[in-house]
Amino acid sequence: MLHVRASEHRAFPRLSPLPLLLSAAVAVCAGCEGSIGDERMLLGGDALGAGGANSPGRLGPAASRTIPPGESTKAVDAQMQAANPTLFETAQTYFPDDNALNPPTRLFRLTRTQLDITTKSLLPASYTTPASDVMPRDPLQTNYEYAANLSFNPANFTPYTNWVGQLVASVRAKPQSVIDCAASNNAPTCLDDQARKFVARAFRGIAPDPVLARYATFFTTSVQQVGLPDATADLVDLTLTSPQYVFRDEVLPAGGLLTPAQQLQNISYTLADAPPDAIGLSLADPAGQLSTPDLLARTIDQVLATPAARDKLMRFFISWLEVKQADEFALAPDVYPEFTPEVAAAAVEETKAFLNRQLAGAAPKLKDVTQSTQTFVSEALGTIYGLKKSTKGLVDLDPTQRLGIFTLPGVIASHSGPTTTRLVKRGVFFTRKVMCLPLGLPPPGVNTVLPEIADATERQRVETATSTARCQGCHAFINPFGFMQENFDATGKWRTTDNGKPIDSTIHVEFLDEGALDTKTPIDALRGLTGSLRFQQCFARQLFRFYLGRDEIAGDDPILRQMFFGFANQGVQDIVAMLQTLARSATFSQRTVAP
């Protein structure tokens, strides 16, 4: 237990929070019922208590469900079945489990983006360098930042504390940017009040009054001993290195319901990567924004309408499509000299500009992303598109060669190279991330190097290497997705020959709900695949995984079934509506507590 007396804090200028952070995680794993922000670790005193499931201010379960009060999952299923029996049958096939189970409690660190937005909002006068510029990237799982992968370790702990040190130095130079009581001549009541408000904001309204009081007492006593600049700097240091600042707490003392403050930050961080007050929500009255279905829906809509939420939607698409950064492309310059660093940067920017345009409306549709034939072309990309170098701006592309996001050079080149189109790699990406088809590892002892065949196309080499029965288990899925893209070289440029031979982009697939699909061109293939129900159910899964930071489990099937049904019914494909359905579900407010 660490006790810091105000008279000692100058001899303790920098805390060492890593042991505190690790001990918090260990406490949760051991079944501790306290909050991760247990301030006994920092300032002494009683554990932070959040109250039981029936404590004042907790939400009733009906206030945070897609299902209206008094209705069951079966009742909602019955409504969907009545609206569209055929689609509901498909939804049940993909998401068959009827037993809705709440996810387990979690303790997870804020992402680098969330640390950036949170700290910039809290300390706007001192924030200059993004955390993502100094902290290394966390491990990714299928290109997503899963909560289980977020932690502190020797690689990112020192960069984080050094980053905090820069903020603290800036605060010391201008303490009035955090605590401004000059009008009252730094009266103790003003100092106490502003310290409480600062810590309450930093901890997103989770900390109860006793914790705020301890921080405020620590601060006001320090002002008397060392002066306002050093005391304010130490308050900021202590706060930003607290587990309750860098972690999101879903640890419950009892009952399985998140407190209103926990649910509010769950909504704001999940949908927008931002703390509640940074996007216009009130930390003072969380329950007042969530206590009825109408208030909950209004709050969710308010969050989803913010620029921060649209920025996160952009990050989802970039992560889902696995679009590389400009310096990450693997194309060999001696084979593709035209794909210069300038062209690589332009390809990434075009992808983002395209997505920004398609996602800008109040109700963006996925089909606008997958089927548009307009994009923003820069001079640098003119040669890739076969356009005049001077062509730039919003351009209508050849509809026989381009259709939506999957035909943009930035997306194509991200799954190509270094010296070929990497047909199999392209097919694996479509299999895993676009269609969510089963895919295992190559059988033991199989040579995965393509054979060298004189004058053969890449398709012919792949067909020769994967023709055996034990390869077809996976390559029956992989190969068609690769074959349909062979008209695009590794840079995304349209071509009609490979190794001097005509390209064969025909495919035949039998794994769609709509029946067999036979196509002759990549455009026909993309139109058929992205219009399929299998594609749409996969999109629902990918959205769920990215936003919740975890894989789905069987107990998530009821909400996934609703997300998919609402998305696919009558071809709506409304992305924001799918997020609304997810955010209104019990997974945003209820947790399973281990016995």
Cα atoms in the 13 Å half-sphere on the side-chain side of 101: 11
Report how far residue 429's alpha carbon sits from residue 142's, in angstroms, rounded to the nearest whole number.
10
Confidence of residue 426 (pLDDT cuts 50, 70, 90): very high
Report how far residue 281's alpha carbon sits from residue 275's, in angstroms, rounded to the nearest whole number.
9
b/e code 142-173 from CB counts within 10 Å (16+ = b): eebbbbeebbbeeebbeebbebbbebbebbbe
Report how far residue 485's alpha carbon sits from residue 481's, in angstroms, rounded to the nearest whole number.
7
Above 60 in pLDDT, residue 47? no
Give the sign of the dihedral formed by CA 252, CA 253, CA 259, CA 262. negative
The segment with the largest mean pLDDT, out of 150-154, 220-224, 390-394, 585-589, is: 220-224
Tens-place pLDDT, residues 134-149: 999 999 999 999 999 9
Above 80 in pLDDT, residue 511? yes
Report how far residue 580's alpha carbon sits from residue 575's, in angstroms, rounded to the nearest whole number.
9
Report how far residue 61's alpha carbon sits from residue 177's, in angstroms, rounded to the nearest whole number.
41
Name the token pair of 185. Answer: 């001549």
Above 60 in pLDDT, residue 467? yes
Residue 49: closest CA among 254, 286, 291: 254
Give me the pLDDT at residue 592, please. Answer: 84
DSSP 249: E
Q: Which residues pair with 109 in a beta bridge?
A: 247
Give me the pLDDT at residue 388, please. Answer: 78
Give the sign of the dihedral formed by CA 391, CA 395, CA 397, CA 402. positive
Give me the pLDDT at residue 251, please. Answer: 80
Give me the pLDDT at residue 106, please. Answer: 86
Give me the pLDDT at residue 36, please. Answer: 26
Q: Between residues 526 and 453, which one has the greater pLDDT?
A: 526
Report how far residue 420's alpha carbon sits from residue 508's, in angstroms, rounded to the nearest whole number.
23
Residue 577: closest CA among 588, 592, 591, 562: 562
Is 567 in contact with 355 (CB distance < 8 Å)? no
Q: What is the mean pLDDT of residues 258-274?
A: 95
- The phi and psi torsions of 109 (rounded to 5 degrees) equal -75, 150
Name the token pair of 585. Answer: 């579900």
Give me the pLDDT at residue 9, please. Answer: 40
| Alpha carbon 385 to chain centroid, angstroms | 31
Give me the pLDDT at residue 51, please. Answer: 31
Above 60 in pLDDT, residue 477? yes
Spell out where 167-317 has E strands.
Answer: 247-249
Cα distances from 83 to residues 76, 77, 559, in angstroms, run 11, 10, 17
Tens-place pLDDT, residues 478-509: 999 999 999 999 999 999 999 999 999 999 99
Give me the pLDDT at residue 27, please. Answer: 39
Above 50 in pLDDT, residue 116? yes
Report how far residue 130's alpha carbon sits from residue 435's, in angstroms, rounded to the nearest whole number.
35
Residue 18: closest CA among 192, 158, 227: 158
Q: What is the mean pLDDT of residues 353-366?
A: 96
Above 50 in pLDDT, residue 19? no
Above 70 in pLDDT, residue 21? no
The segment with the largest mean pLDDT, out of 97-111, 428-442, 459-473, 566-580, is: 566-580
Q: What is the model's pTM? A: 0.89
Confidence of residue 70 (pLDDT cuts 50, 70, 90): very low
Whether the bond into 418 is cis, omega within 30 of 0: yes
Give me the pLDDT at residue 595, please. Answer: 57
Give me the pLDDT at residue 366, please. Answer: 98
Confidence of residue 244 (pLDDT cuts 50, 70, 90): very high
Q: What is the mean pLDDT of residues 335-339?
A: 96
Give me the pLDDT at residue 66, please. Answer: 43
Spell out where 137-255 has E strands.
Answer: 247-249
Tens-place pLDDT, residues 289-325: 999 999 999 999 999 999 999 999 999 999 999 999 9
Q: What percent of the chain has pLDDT over 90?
A: 77
Give the sign of the dihedral formed by CA 99, CA 100, CA 106, CA 111. positive
Residue 379: closest CA among 352, 331, 347, 333: 347
Q: For all residues of the chain together, what is the average pLDDT? A: 87
Above 60 in pLDDT, residue 72? yes
What HEC string does 458-517 produce?
A: HHHHHHHHCCCHHHHHHHHHHHHHHHCCCCECCCCCECCEECCEECCCCEEECCCCCCCE
Maximum CA extent, the chain: 86
Above 80 in pLDDT, residue 353? yes
